């Protein structure tokens, strides 16, 4: 509401902020005395891998600590009010009206039982800022500014009736409802496709500029934050590593860790030539498939040769995971066939032989749900050994240890752990070990790195690459992240709405001339250049004009 106040006044000043978290009945400090200063209209980027404490600090800016956490020291001055000491009542006054929060998963943050506009109006009406009718017209105005389609009517839909990117923008609109002084964005685009991400990023940036709102932008993606923030703080394990203005930080990072973050995805696989004429390990031939009545795959064909990586790229809903389900036999195709080593595979996985199943393994996107939380690592990795190879007792244990060494985890430390005692990256390594245990020839990797931090993801990619070199595996690599594709692929298949739009060797697909959709995908990958978003939007505007 303070449009009159120009840039420059300090809006939020956190001094010596310490936060403790509770585990095993003991309080551990997770944020070790951080100073944050935020001026009006400034966008501050908080960046770091998971566990760095960036979300915790973001929430602390609202005077809020998660369940099992507490603010144990320091002050949080928001416009002369110390939020660390303020009463619940006064905090309630501030939250929603002067400080707002945009969560990572808009789908989970919206109440599915109410229409978007009802949820929009709740805060302004509750805080007595404007009457319902005014709030509604204001909502329509904001929806328009955020470039949502049909701003007059979209608010009258339920959350499940709009797409993920639109929902994230609706959430931003909701945060703007009371024209707060400060908005906290907690990884707002992490769950979105690259193409959708662009829209959300530009919408958020425009609206923040229009209303001169200060914002804290939390993300683990340095390329994204460099588009959004004026200033960046790099965090690690609850400590400040480096702070500086965006351009300076990107061009001349001072600390080793920041350089590591910047250098992510520089890893490249050596290019391999055309596959020779041998029978492909896996061949999909004119496959079409549908869920019930609605068709999702149209005439898809691809070959995967031994010791090669085929990356399947596309945004969500493009049918790339469905293709994997057809190959594994979870979804029998309506037309076409899948051949393995020249032999046709039964459409339904129940009809396939044990050996066929063994040779084709799968690694999933979410390591949290891909391994049974009630089994120890020993059983998770040991089961395929027992099941496919008939190993028991000491033999099996020895092999499990060997596999753990292969995935670079210390056997003595990890063999008796439960998945709950592992980090995301370690869980994904366990999933890889489970797939390796079967001694497969082809592994389908379904978005294996998208739930992980960039540094961790890079290590997983390197591990997969090393395993391919050592064991001669073939990968089918499903992803929406072109940086991953650049790193690991030999061949690329680009999919759009259930069809293959382009396929070929990496060098051919990635170098011009592109198919127009490939071009769109390629150009949507954020780059570590603060001007990238502006330039890109400018270019696209020119083209459409």
State in angstroms the smallest separation of the CB of 444 from another protein.
10
418 belongs to the binding site for another protein (CB under 8 A): yes
Select 376 or 462, whichever has its Cβ closest to another protein. Answer: 376
Interface residue with another protein, options 126, 210, 372, 402 (CB under 8 A):
372
Q: Which is nearer to another protein, 102 or 422 (CB)?
A: 422
Footprint of another protein on residues 373-392 (CB under 8 A)?
A: 373-376, 378-379, 383-384, 387-388
Q: Which of residues 17-56 bind another protein (CB under 8 A)?
A: 25
Our finding on whether 364 is near another protein (CB under 8 A) is: yes
List, as one string, the DSSP characters of 416-450.
T--GGGS-HHHHHHHHHHHHHHT--SEEEEESTTT
Question: Tokens standing for 318?
Answer: 């493009």
Between 309 and 348, how does the x/- string for binding to another protein read (CB under 8 A)? -------------------xxx------------------
Window contacting another protein (CB under 8 A); options: 53-61, 164-172, 192-200, 372-380: 372-380
Instruction: Give one DSSP letter per residue of 196-242, joined into a string.
Output: HHHHHHHHHHHHHHHTT-EEEEEES-HHHHHHH-SEEEEEETTEEEE
Give backbone dihedrals phi and psi of 345, rounded to 5 degrees, phi first. Answer: -95, 140
Where do the H-state alpha helices sit in 438-491? 454-471, 482-488
Give the residue with the Cβ less far from another protein, 98 or 357.
Answer: 357
User: How many CB atoms are located within 10 Å of the residue 221 CB?
Assistant: 20
Taking CB under 8 A as the binding criterion, the range among 246-254, 367-375, 447-455, 528-536 that sits at the site for another protein is 367-375
Extract the tokens encoding 17: 């902020």
Is residue 123 classed as helix, strand or coil in its secondary structure?
helix
Contact letters for another protein, residues 211-240 (x by CB under 8 A): ------------------------------
Distance CA 307, CA 278 (A): 12
Q: Is 395 in the site for another protein (CB under 8 A)?
A: no
At 380, list the tokens: 């998770």
User: Token pair 């050592």 is at which residue?
Assistant: 470
User: Measured from the CB of residue 412, what is the shortest distance to another protein in angstroms?
Assistant: 10
User: CA triplet 187, 188, 189: central angle to 5 degrees?
Assistant: 95
Q: Which of positions 434-463 make contact with another protein (CB under 8 A)?
A: 434, 438
Contact between residue 261 and residue 232 where contact means Cβ atoms under 8 Å apart:
no
Q: Which of 46, 142, 312, 370 binds another protein (CB under 8 A)?
A: 370
The residues binding another protein (CB under 8 A) are: 25, 328-330, 349, 352, 354, 357, 362, 364, 366, 369-376, 378-379, 383-384, 387-388, 416, 418, 420, 434, 438
């Amino acid at each position: 509401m303070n449009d009159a106040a120009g840039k420059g006044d300090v809006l939020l000043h956190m001094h010596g902020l310490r936060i403790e978290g509770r585990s095993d009945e003991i309080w551990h400090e997770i944020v070790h005395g951080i100073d944050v200063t935020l001026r009006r209209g400034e966008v501050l980027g908080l960046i770091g891998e998971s566990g760095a404490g960036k979300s915790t600090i973001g929430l602390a800016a609202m005077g809020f600590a998660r369940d099992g956490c507490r603010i144990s020291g320091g002050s949080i001055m928001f416009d002369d009010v110390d939020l660390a000491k303020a009463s619940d009542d006064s905090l309630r006054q501030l939250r929603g009206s002067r400080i707002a929060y945009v969560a990572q998963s808009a789908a989970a943050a919206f109440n599915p039982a109410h229409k978007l506009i009802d949820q929009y109006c709740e805060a302004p009406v509750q805080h007595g800022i404007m009457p319902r009718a005014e709030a509604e017209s204001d909502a329509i105005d904001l929806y328009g500014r955020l470039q949502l389609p049909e701003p007059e009517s979209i608010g009258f839909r339920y959350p499940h009736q709009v797409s993920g990117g639109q929902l994230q923008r609706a959430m931003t609109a909701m945060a703007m409802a009371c024209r707060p002084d400060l908005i906290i964005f907690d990884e707002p685009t992490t769950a979105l496709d690259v193409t959708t991400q662009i829209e959300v990023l530009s919408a958020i940036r425009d609206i923040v500029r229009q209303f001169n709102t200060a914002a804290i932008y939390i993300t683990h993606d340095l390329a994204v934050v460099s588009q959004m923030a004026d200033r960046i703080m790099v965090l690690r394990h609850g400590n400040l590593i480096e702070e500086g203005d965006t351009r300076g930080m990107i061009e001349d990072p001072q600390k080793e860790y920041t350089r590591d973050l910047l250098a992510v995805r520089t890893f490249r696989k050596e290019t391999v030539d055309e596959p020779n004429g041998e029978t492909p390990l896996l061949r999909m031939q004119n496959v079409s498939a549908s869920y019930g009545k609605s068709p999702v795959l149209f005439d898809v064909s691809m070959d995967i040769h031994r010791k090669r990586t085929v990356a399947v790229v596309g945004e969500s809903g493009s049918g790339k995971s469905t293709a994997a389900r057809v190959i594994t036999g979870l979804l029998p195709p309506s037309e076409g066939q899948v051949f393995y080593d020249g032999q046709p595979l039964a459409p339904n996985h129940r009809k396939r032989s044990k050996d066929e199943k063994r040779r084709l393994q799968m690694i999933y996107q979410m390591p949290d749900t891909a391994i049974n939380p009630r089994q120890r690592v020993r059983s998770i990795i040991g089961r395929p050994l027992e099941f496919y190879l008939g190993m028991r007792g000491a033999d099996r244990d020895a092999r499990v240890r060997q596999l753990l060494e292969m995935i670079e985890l210390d056997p003595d430390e990890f063999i008796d752990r439960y998945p709950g005692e592992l980090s995301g990256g370690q869980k994904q390594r366990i999933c890889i070990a489970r797939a390796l245990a079967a001694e497969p020839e082809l592994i389908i990797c379904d978005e294996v790195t998208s739930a992980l931090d960039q540094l961790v993801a890079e290590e997983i990619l390197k591990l997969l690459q090393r395993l391919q070199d050592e064991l001669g595996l073939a990968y089918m690599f499903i992803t929406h992240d072109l940086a991953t594709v650049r790193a690991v692929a030999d061949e690329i298949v680009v999919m759009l709405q259930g069809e293959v739009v382009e396929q070929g060797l990496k060098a051919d697909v990635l170098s011009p001339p592109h198919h127009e959709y490939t071009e769109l995908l390629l150009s949507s990958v954020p780059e570590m250049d603060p001007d990238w978003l502006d330039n890109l939007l400018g270019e696209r505007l020119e083209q459409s004009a």
